A and B are shown apart, each in its own frame.
Chain A
Amino acid sequence: MTCHEVRLYFEDPLRFDADFTGEAEHLARCPECARFVEARRELRAGLHLLRDSVPQAPATLDAAVLTSYRRQIANGATGVRRASRKSRIVLAWGAAAALIALAASIAVYSSRENERRSAQIAVQKITVAESNAANAANGLSSTKPALSKTKIVPSKKALRPHPAHAEHSASTMATADNRAPEMFRSLMYCDPLSCGESMQVIRVQLPSSAAFDPAATAAGEAIYADVLVGPDGVARGIHVLQ
């Protein structure tokens, strides 16, 4: 028998309890294997002793268990009670999860609603500015237009294609290309009004003498104009409304 065989024999737990009568010769001339076998035998003996030395459960334990059982039965504390307690716990967790889900959905909905509103406001501003300008160009304005200040380049959200806003997409695309509407006259620096940044339209009241065609306006009557102002505050274009 070799050292390897001795180890293999003891490494198989199924043989652990078997009497190992192996090669006495090998154990006599191999002190390492002899120590190994001795250690395993000592362990085996120790485990046997430990197994035999387990104390017996005292009679008081039986009495205590029986008393507890009787009390449990008397209180009806069997599986049903525990089940109801568990179901209550599950119910509480479920309610908490539902509340969290509800709060999350409300938060998501409100944030989306805010986005939608801001996009609508941006588009409405452009629409008002464009319609005023168009009315003025066609001479349809019967009343004095109110002074306003409108950004001509909408936000990116407003540029999102949407079926309801399809009619505005052409103008918004034009402004996205940094080309001002054709009715504006270029004032300076910016010919042909293609400055690279967003501009604002400011409606101003001017004396009639400032009109391009003074004959068309009555003396002393004020005229209105939309002025295209760049981000640096310099006027880039003008469009006289009257």
Chain B
Amino acid sequence: MASDNELSRRPDTELLRRAVAGEEQAFLVLYRKLKAAVFRYAFYMTNSKASAEEVTQEVFMALIEDAHAYRPGRGDLAGFAFGIARNFVRRIERRERPYRILPHEPAFEVLSDKLISESDALPTQMIRSQLAARVQAAVASLPDHYRQVVVLCDLCELSYAEAASRLGCAVGTIRSRLNRAHALLSEKLKALDRPEPHVGTAGPEGCVI
């Protein structure tokens, strides 16, 4: 039986073939290679650790079941796994849509204001995580085609060429979508910073103060 080091030098296609044949060591090496990227992508796309775990598990099971569908000429195995992950993420999104928290939930706005006003008393780590949560919420509210490029390029740190290969579009499309996504994100973060006007504070001319 081949050692981990020896197996890790093998191409992914061979690892997959061996894993399908029942070689557990090959499967483990393949899993370690692809797990982080799949989990990270699923986590940023679903905003849920549990969903990311579910997607990761499903991706590897589908990878073994649908191994015959993989065509090496059409891209690397990571791209194939990404395609499966994308389908599972969409399935989970459809399933979870009725339970999704609305982006402008009043309770969250109040909590956000409270945390910002008490920022001096909070540890820096909490403020940082608060900023990360705001960015995460802004990313989650992006349209799907913008969210995909932000997650792949900014969060999963793929190159533009890799992202283009994963999404099946041109590098120029990735660049333009990313630029537009950044502009949208800036606007959303700005909107989140802006204090929400309270009802009943209208001025004499009906304008909200």
Binding site for B on A (CB under 8 A): 10-14, 16, 36, 39-40, 42-43, 45-47, 49-51, 53-55, 57-58, 61-62, 64-66, 68-70, 72-73, 77-83
Contacts and interface: CB of A to CB of B under 8 A. Distances in A.
18 contacts: A13-B178, A14-B175, A16-B178, A39-B190, A43-B185, A47-B135, A50-B136, A51-B157, A54-B43, A61-B39, A64-B53, A65-B56, A68-B61, A69-B19, A69-B24, A70-B24, A79-B69, A82-B66
Interface of B: 19-20, 22, 24, 27-28, 31, 35-36, 39-40, 43-44, 49, 52-53, 56-57, 60-61, 64-69, 128-129, 131-132, 134-136, 138-139, 150, 153-155, 157, 160, 175, 178-179, 182, 185-186, 189-190
Contact of A64 (B24, B57, B66): B57
Interface centre among A13, A68, A80, A81 (most CB of B within 10 A): A13
A46 B28 contact: no
Given A43-B182, A57-B53, 9 more contacts: A13-B160, A39-B189, A47-B155, A49-B129, A69-B61, A78-B20, A79-B64, A79-B65, A82-B66
A68 B60 CA distance: 9
Contacts of B28: 66
B56 to A, nearest CB: 6
A45 B40 contact: no
A65 B59 CA distance: 10
Contacts of B190: 39
A77 B53 contact: no
A13 B153 contact: yes
Contacts of A42: 131, 186, 189
Given A13-B153, A51-B154, A79-B68, A58 B53 contact: yes
By secondary structure, the A interface counts as: helix
Given A43-B135, A69-B24, A69-B27, A50 B155 contact: yes
A54 B135 contact: no
Contacts of A65: 31, 56-57, 60-61
B53 to A, nearest CB: 5
Given A43-B185, A65-B31, A78 B154 contact: no
A77 B62 CA distance: 10
Contacts of A57: 35-36, 39, 52-53, 56
Interface centre among A11, A36, A70 (most CB of B within 10 A): A11
Nearest to A49: B132
B189 A43 contact: yes
A162 to B, nearest CB: 56
